[in-house]
Amino acid sequence: MTPYVSGGTVFTILLICRLLESSMLNAEMKEGEILPPTIHKLMKGYNKYLRPFFDNGPVTVGMSLDIASIDTISEINMDYTATIFLRQRWTDERLVFEGNKSLSLDGRLVELLWVPDTFIVDSKKSFLHDITVENRLIRIFPNGTVLYALRITTTVACNMDLTKYPMDKQTCTLQLESWGYNINDIMFYWTRGNESVSGLDTLQLAQYTVEDHYTSVSEAVYETGNYPRLVFHFELKRSILYFILETYVPSSLLVVLSWVSFWISLSSVPARICIGVTTVLTMTTLMMGARTSLPNANCFIKAIDVYLGICFSFIFGALIEYAVAHFCSLSHMDSHIFMHYGHHMHDLDDEMNGIITTISNHNRAKRRKEAAATQTPAPASLELVVSPSSPSGSEPKPEAPPPEPTHWCLTALATVRKVLRSFTCCTVENPHHIDNYSRVTFPLSFVMVNLLYWTYYLYF
């Protein structure tokens, strides 16, 4: 039973091999029928896994770009998305044929040819358009030159310096490099120098204008070797008009609105507080809205942040100015009351000093009389008055002198005078002058700061 099964298995395998061989022959016959004789002749013995001039030095590949569109430029992700037409030219000595006309082939026949392994260095994501078919072009010239074109949409990283945002200029690059072939196998070059890239002159961008662009050739050095690299540089300048209308003008008008409080009476507390708090809150909302389109985690202090901070400082300063003026007005009223009370206390002090002086003089005269009386000898008929508390009865008890007057009242009055002088030095002679000065100093300071701000960020 076992030899019979083995023989059946061998027969089945031979049958399958025969069927596969016949299908391959049919495919070759169909391929020969599809391909023209010229192409069929070129493809005979062609190995797409070997590059041109495999043993005769590197193959040179010329490149050119056509920028169809730059769709988005993101400051948050620091990248841009562009649709480009990438054209590559090289010479393959195995594809030389007789004639004077080029052969335009279907893009799907690129699978039969060797093509460079070009990739975009800083690409985050890319795709080849395939509607209605894959957007590829293959054209072979009689001298063996191959033109290979692709339509690609790619998102490329672009490192941005946002310290002068929104008056900034960004330089982005598009870098093309060989993935597997080093400089000993393949060389890249721009076909027409700086004119190898077209389409930027007619490009319309939302917030930017393309100021300059140029090309360069370099080498990428890795651990595995040196690889050819082509770099396309383009400089983008941001249009500031949108930000002037959206941020700079509203913030400046809020600062001017905060100055209205300088023309309102100091006694109108609700009106002035309402203007100050409203402008502060509105400015805070404007500052938060200006940061929504920018990256949150970054170390940049942007130009727009500096201006919004300046405006917020002026608005907050106007609110503080009213607090100071109102406090000075209250202190001014209280100082008048204290000064009136001080004059009254001064009069009382003078009267008290007169009374104390009179009493002191009277006591001093009385003491002098008593002293004179004690020095005069007493008559013999008079008996000494013996103090009952004296045990010997020989010493008389002298009368206690009257207590010296205390000066605590004078010290208190002097302290009150010092306090009143300190209040007089801290108060403003006329609190309304604070508003008068603010009407001039605030606008002039704001104009000077604006001149310095715009000069620095536009010309430095």
Integer CA distances (angstroms), 448 to 18, 164, 420, 444, in order: 93, 20, 40, 6
* Whether residue 184 sits in one domain with residue 251: no
Separation in Å, CA 397 to CA 75, 377, 386, 388, 400: 105, 17, 8, 10, 9
Q: The domain containing residue 287 runs over which residues?
A: 240-334+421-459
What integer best gives the mean pLDDT of the chain?
81
**Does residue 251 sit in the same domain as residue 111?**
no
What count of Cα atoms within 13 Å lies in the side-chain half-sphere of residue 307?
30
Instruction: Tell the residue number behind the tokens 């306090």, with chain if given.
Output: 419
- Report if residue 357 sits inside a domain: no
Of the pLDDT bands very low, low, confident and very high (cuts 50, 70, 90), residue 264 is: very high
CATH number at residue 256: 1.20.58.390
- Residue 181 · residue 51 · CB < 8 Å: yes
- For residue 283, the SS3 value is helix
Task: Determine, yes or no, domain membership for 373.
Answer: no
The domain boundary, picked from 183, 203, 238, lies at 238
The verdict on 232 and 244 lying in the same domain is: no
- Identify any residues that bridge with 89 across adjacent strands, giving them in sequence order: 62, 147
Same domain, 201 and 307: no
- Among 89, 97, 177, 184, smallest CA distance to 139 is for 89
pLDDT of residue 206: 85
Do 80 and 129 reside in the same domain of the chain? yes
Distance CA 301, CA 287 (A): 13
Are residues 233 and 138 part of one domain? yes
pLDDT at res. 108: 86
As a whole number of angstroms, the distance between CA 328 and CA 294 comes to: 44
**CATH number, position 153:** 2.70.170.10
pLDDT in tens, 16-69: 656 555 554 454 444 444 556 777 788 888 899 999 998 888 999 999 999 999
For residue 78, tell me if it sits in a domain. Answer: yes
Same domain, 181 and 282: no
Of the ranges 10-19, 88-97, 254-263, which one carries the lowest mean pLDDT score?
Answer: 10-19
Do 136 and 62 have their domain in common?
yes
Residue 73 shares a structural domain with residue 209: yes
What is the C-alpha to C-alpha distance for residues 373 and 365, in angstroms, rounded to an integer?
A: 13
Per residue in 159-192, pLDDT tens? 999 999 999 999 999 999 999 999 999 999 999 9
195 and 261 share one domain: no
Q: How many domains does the chain have?
A: 2
Q: Which of 211, 238, 265 is the last residue of a domain?
A: 238
**Confidence category of residue 395, pLDDT binned at 50, 70, 90:** very low
Whether 230 and 246 share a structural domain: no
Asked whether residue 8 is assigned to any structural domain, the reply reads no
Q: What is the pLDDT of residue 401?
A: 52
Q: What pLDDT is stored for residue 373 in this prediction?
A: 64
- Is residue 289 in some structural domain? yes
Long-range contacts formed by 303-309: CB under 8 A, 24+ apart: 303/163, 303/164, 303/165, 303/166, 303/167, 303/168, 303/453, 303/457, 304/165, 304/166, 304/243, 304/247, 306/453, 307/247, 307/248, 307/251, 307/453, 308/247, 308/251, 308/283
Residues 233 and 253 in one domain: no
pLDDT tens, residue by residue, 238-254? 999 999 999 999 999 99
Q: Domain end: 187, 214, 238, which one? A: 238
